[in-house]
Structure 1
Amino acid sequence: MDTSFLSATILLILITDPLGNIPLFISALKQVKPERRRRVVFRECFIAFSVLLTFMFFGKGFLEVMHLTDESLRVAGGVILFLIALKMIFPGEGGHGGNQLSGEPFIVPIAVPLIAGPSAMATVLLMSTREPERILEWVGALTLTMLVTLLVFLFSGRLQKLLGEQAITALERLMGLVLTAISIEMLLGGVAAYIKKLA
């Protein structure tokens, strides 16, 4: 699957799913004073960006140490994305609102795993190892994704009031549908590459 800068950005936005995460994000910030919320949003987005950037730059070395192939990572990435997509389309009971926090959230659950979850880590790892010569494009796509996430979280209260719970749920399921197709494409690409390698 050829990945352009635009498709990489869209893929990362779909995986981080800022719109779908609005209810959990608002719930996580309930105990935070209104005047501190903006600072918390900036801090958590920066931490998530740093985590994903680390995976992007040191992913190849990690794969070599663990003796993992590109094909296995593509298949694993496809499976993870498929499971994430299924949860987006068929959310379980209490999926978003289950975590009630006391005090100010730090790293968990907003930065990790809400933004920089396993699927996002696997995706940036896959992007950087498949085409390391395009690393600046992938950094740009990740930066743009973080800016979108930052803006959505900064205006999460207004967006929730403007769109309503039903519209946000519908958007999340639509994103899940697109992500399902992407995950299947990634999975098939990994299997095809492995079969070609054996032949």
Structure 2
Amino acid sequence: MDSPFLQNIIFFFAAIDPVGTIPIFLAVSAHLRQREKVFMAIQATLISAVVLVFFVIGGELILTASAIPLSAFQIAGGSILFIFALTMVFGDAKPESELKSLQGHSHSSVFPLAIPSIASPGAMLAAVILTEKDRFNIQEQLVTTLSMLVVLAMTLALMLISLFFSKKIGPQGAAVISRVMGIIVASLAVTHILTGIKAFFNLA
């Protein structure tokens, strides 16, 4: 258990939260065909991988140069996720034009599924902290990046597995679950916000 690789997997699993991604995935893909849902899951995972690898390479430099506190970054991401959660809970049935735009699922793959759900502020923060240039050499950074990609593969697997269960419940069941999942997503978003506030004010 002293393996840095396993430790990083545990750290990224907590930061990316693959289980917490499932309700968001089911909500944004509810009106898509099964094949499109699979494509959305794969596309969102690939986009998240690109974003997080980008933060491994240049995130530390960008945040330092912009003088952006990492806690502020986390609060912003949590706020965006909370707004999306409200649409899950209170949103009415979508008009036909909006359903058509959802079926062209590329936008939903990026927001809110890839960002800020999978590539969350916490995951971006983890990518920066665990690959700090002053603390870790190139080999250690590569090991960290590999562990991050393993967790992303786990996230994709969980999303695909969730499709099997969602297929059995039908549209009405999906609508009920969407509301319930919206509350869960809102709770996750508030957790992100509170964590950011705690870090900003250095609260114990």
Q: Scaled by the length of structure 2, what TM-score is found?
A: 0.61
- Kindly provide the amino acid, as one letter, of the partner of residue 97 in structure 1: M
- Kindly provide the amino acid, as one letter, of the partner of residue 25 in structure 2: F
Deviation at 1:158, TM superposition (A): 3.5
Structure 2 SS opposite 1:54: helix
Deviation at 1:3, TM superposition (A): 8.6
1:120–1:3 distance in 2 versus 1, CA, 3 Å: farther
* CA-atom RMSD in angstroms: 4.1
Structure 2 SS opposite 1:25: helix
Gaps of 5+ in 2: 169-176
Query: 1:132-154: per-residue Cα shift (whole Å, max 9, x none)?
Result: 31111111111101110010011
Contact in 1 for aligned 2:21/2:113 (Cα 8 Å): no
Partner of 1:107: 110
- Identity, % of aligned pairs? 20
- Normalized per residue, the structure richer in helix is 2
- Kindly provide the amino acid, as one letter, of the partner of residue 151 in structure 1: A
Gaps of 5+ in 1: 85-90, 192-199
Query: 1:55-105: per-residue Cα shift (whole Å, max 9, x none)?
Result: 01112322442468xxx75xx49x959x97xxxxxx9xx669347874122
- Kindly provide the amino acid, as one letter, of the partner of residue 62 in structure 2: F
- Kindly provide the amino acid, as one letter, of the partner of residue 50 in structure 1: V
1:148 partnered with 2:135? no
Number of residue pairs the alignment of both structures matches: 163
CA distance in 2: counterparts of 1:80 and 1:67, whole angstroms: 14
Contact in 1 for aligned 2:41/2:109 (Cα 8 Å): no
Structure 2 SS opposite 1:59: helix
Deviation at 1:116, TM superposition (A): 0.6
- Kindly provide the amino acid, as one letter, of the partner of residue 124 in structure 2: M
Q: Scaled by the length of structure 1, what TM-score is found?
A: 0.63
Deviation at 1:110, TM superposition (A): 0.6
Partner of 1:29: 29
The worse-fitting range, judged by mean Cα deviation, of 45-54 and 32-41 is 32-41
Contact in 1 for aligned 2:21/2:155 (Cα 8 Å): no
Deviation at 1:126, TM superposition (A): 1.1
CA distance in 1: counterparts of 2:148 and 2:87, whole angstroms: 24
Contact in 2 for aligned 1:51/1:116 (Cα 8 Å): yes
Deviation at 1:21, TM superposition (A): 2.4
Contact in 2 for aligned 1:13/1:145 (Cα 8 Å): yes
Partner of 2:172: none
CA distance in 2: counterparts of 1:95 and 1:20, whole angstroms: 16
